[in-house]
Structure 1
Amino acid sequence: MAMYDQLCLLSGRAHPKLGHEIASYLGINLGAVELSNFPDGEISCRLYQNVRGADVFLVQPTGPAVNDNLMELLVLIDTCKRASAARVTAVIPYFGYARQDRKDMGRVPITAKLVANLITKAGADRVLTMDLHAAQIQGFFDCPVDHLYAAPILDEYFRSLNLPKSNLVIVSPDEGSIKRSLQHVEHLGGSFAIVDKRRSNAFETRQENLIGGPIAGKTCIIFDDMITTAGSMVGAVKVVAQHEAAEIYVGATHAIMCGQAAQRLVEAPIKEIVVTNSLPLTPEQKLPNLRQVSVAPLLGEAIRRIHRNESVSYLFD
């Protein structure tokens, strides 16, 4: 029974391996819960332990299949609330539906707010998440949100490669990632460049110009928050390669990698792709040059501090 000082850790089916890693960090067992589907696809849930008065943490990223995983999270929250849990924290390493965070044209939804409402209405008292696509989504939740960043974990990996700072260039794949990339410059050193990205529509982008540099003969690391179809990332890689970079690395928090992403990444001139385990990887996504670093210690420490009512701020400052 995953109870320690009234702490209960449960996992949905989206990423049970991460749930077990977090439990191992905390030195507890993952809670017993049975999740299945009725013949028509409806989700069935049953807890096999007492959570009355417990501080429950539900680990469930809402990545692909996003609708199933989101619905399962809502069912888990409702189950725990109806079983008289004292507090329920939704641990969402990857928050889906984050792209539609504003009305940028007529007659479109703000789906990020809708999903935030669903999670809080289901009964979540708190949300723990990581590298939201847009930081302002924290304000969409009518409950406290702890927003963590995977940058220190990615930076630690790249420091272990002992890349010379004098020959290093941190590249932002678009203007929207400038702030994130500058934080990597602060911790890794090196110079800075930006790829000029223009979006044609929701599915297509084009990358044409490089701002900054020079990068000829240099080692470049391109950072982004997520790799979805890999179109933007591979487009940035091609621009950097055209400017004669010696080696190109890619770093991202969320490896969604849907559609032709894996094929695009394999064909691109990338020495190494470094992602976190905020989402599980399928066998097809485990590319030869892909490295996965764990965020379980980061999430586990945040859970420990939230449970003990200690400060979490140093984890994401």
Structure 2
Amino acid sequence: MRIHVAMPDTGLCTDFFPPAVRDRLTSIGTVTWNETTENYTEAELRKRVKGVDVLITGWGSTQVTGTVLSGADNLRLLAHAGGTVADIASRDVYEDRIPVVSANDVMADHTAEHTIAALLAERRAISALDTSMHSGEWNRADHEINTLYDATISLVSLGTIGHKLIEHLVPFEPNVRVYDPYVNKSVLEDYPFATFVDLDTALNAEIVSIHAARTPETEGMIDAEHLSTIPDGGLLVNTARAEIVEEEPLLKELRSGRLSAVLDVHHEEPLPEEHELRSLENVLLTPHVGGSQIRPPLAAAVVDDIERFAAGEPLKHRIPREQWETMTR
């Protein structure tokens, strides 16, 4: 089996493929690597896929288009060491019935873990209390401390991350509301504390957590009117994509102090040093690290599936066409 890794020869590729993961990959077949420090152009990738059985891509890799596939004479698996494959696979890949796998569900695990950690930190005022302690204070009275137990938590879209987050929430016995008009209602059968609601009902909750993919349909879906539906003192959590929530209306709500926010994603990344969000005390900020910074498990997941593919076993991390069509672009 011939395997080609299209990720450029940079520190990022080393992060994804430490020696142990590289050794596993080379035990499966003959592995070649992109030895340049740049992602391939479409024409370059077309040349490199000739004779390749498995193509491994990463963040920023050129999309595997019909033009690229015209140079592929044996491509049997596309494996993406990242989450969304919306801009990696193409309709031509699916029409040629080439299986596509990615570490999307592993990234979902990490993002859900980050979300629950941030939720707990915000509800328990961990950041504010830590700052107070480091400044020499012993101040418990001026910090509002809350709990997730019996809280009303709404998920805007379910998806892979939302499913994982619900599992994390089980011990807290919260009241979970889910807005997602596209999923089968049976998916909540194992979670009696969770119910499907319309968007307005979902937003009328003390905690609103965004988990929608960024698509033309979802960009700006949470506007000023929707934000005003969140009750006073409410918390907006966004670990999905910043563009789903209109920026200026959110800033207006945060400036007023009516709402608080936990934000891992931003309209401009890196977040500019002078950005207003950095000066707001009612915002817990992280630099888009929810699902992406723990990298070796992402590559290991696709290597797992390459091993299964070589052995003729079912693929665990396969992305079906209907999922590809709704992934973040």
- What is the TM-score with the length of structure 1 in the denominator? 0.53
Cα-to-partner distance string for 1:24-51 (whole Å, 9 max, x where unaligned): 48347952367677xxxxx431689797
Residue 248 in structure 1 maps to residue 239 in structure 2: no
Tell me what 2:100 maps to: 127
CA distance in 1, matches of 2:68, 2:201: 46
Distance 1:315 1:191 in 2: 32
Q: Which residue identity is paired with 2:291?
A: S
Q: SS at 2:213's partner residue?
A: strand
Superposition pairs of residues 253-268 of structure 1, within 5 angstroms: 255=241, 257=243, 261-263=246-248, 265-268=250-253
Partner of 1:32: 35
Task: Look up the match of 1:171.
Answer: 154
Q: Which residue of 1 aligns with 2:6?
A: 10
SS at match of 1:257: helix
Higher RCO, Cα 8 Å, sep 6+: 2
Provide the residue aligned with 2:127 in structure 1: none
Aligned counterpart in structure 2 of residue 231 of structure 1, from 220, 225, 245: 220
Tell me whether 1:160 sits opposite 2:117 in the alignment. Answer: yes
**Can you list the C-alpha shifts for 1:85-131, whole angstroms capped at 9, x where unaligned?**
5634152733449xxxxxxxxxxxxxx9xx53x1245x673212476
| Other structure's SS at 1:291 match | coil
Cα shift readout 1:141-179 (whole Å, capped 9, x = no counterpart): xxxxxxx36432222113334353216432133xx6499
In the alignment, the residues of structure 2 paired with residue 6 and residue 179 of structure 1 have an alpha-carbon distance, to the nearest angstrom, of 31
SS at match of 2:101: strand
The percentage of counterpart residues that share the same residue type is 11
Question: CA 1:294/1:177 → structure 2, altered by over 3 Å: closer, same or farther?
Answer: closer
Match of 2:165 in 1: 184
Q: Structure 2 matches for 1:287-306, cutoff 5 A?
A: 288=278, 289-292=285-288, 293-295=290-292, 296-306=295-305
- C-alpha contact 2:155 2:178 (8 A) present in aligned 1: yes
Q: Contact between 1:170 and 1:221, CA under 8 Å: does it hold in 2?
A: yes
What is the DSSP-based 3-state SS (H/G/I as helix, E as strand, rest coil) of the residue aligned with 1:32? coil
Q: Distance in 2 between matches of 1:61 and 1:172?
A: 29
Look up the SS of the partner of 2:44 in the other structure.
strand
Of 301-310 and 224-233, the range deviating more from structure 2: 224-233
Structure 1 residues 49 and 130: CA distance shift in structure 2, 3 A: closer
CA contact (8 A) 2:305 2:317 kept: no
How is 1:17-56 mapped onto 2 (pairs within 5 angstroms)?
Answer: 21-24=15-18, 26-27=21-22, 30-32=33-35, 43-45=42-44, 52=51, 55-56=54-55
Aligned residue for 1:231, secondary structure, equals coil
For residue 20 of structure 1, report the CA deviation from its aligned partner: 5.6
Name the TM-score, length of structure 2 as normaliser. 0.52
Structure 1 residue ranges without an equivalent (≥5)? 38-42, 63-68, 98-111, 132-147, 198-206
1:251/1:274 contact within 8 Å kept: yes
Which amino acid is the alignment partner of residue 151 of structure 1? A
Cα gap change, 1:267 to 1:300, in 2 (>3 Å): farther
Letter in 2 for 1:8: H
RMSD: 5.0
Aligned to 1:273: 263
Query: 1-side partners of 2:229 and 2:150: how far apart?
Result: 14
CA distance in 2, matches of 1:30, 1:265: 44
For 2:201 and 2:108, the matched residues in 1 are separated by 23
Amino acid at match of 1:154: T
Is contact 2:3–2:54 with CA below 8 Å preserved after alignment?
yes
C-alpha change, 1:87 and 1:182, in structure 2 (3 Å) is closer
Aligned AA for 2:6?
Answer: L
Alignment of 1:138-157 (within 5 A): 148=105, 150-157=107-114
Structure with the higher fraction of residues in strand conformation: 1
Mark the CA change 1:301 to 1:275 in structure 2 (over 3 Å): closer, same or farther: farther
SS in 2 for 1:153: helix
Q: What is the aligned length?
A: 240
Separation in 2 of the partners of 1:267 and 1:35?
40
User: Mind listing any 5+ residue stretches in structure 2 that lack a counterpart?
Assistant: 24-31, 124-146, 182-197, 255-259, 279-284, 320-329
Q: Aligned to 1:248, what secondary structure does the other structure show?
A: strand
Pairwise mapping of residues 203-214 of structure 1 onto structure 2 (< 5 A)?
A: 209-210=200-201
CA contact (8 A) 2:101 2:318 kept: no
- Local SS of the residue matching 2:300: helix
Contact 2:235-2:262 at 8 Å conserved across structures? no
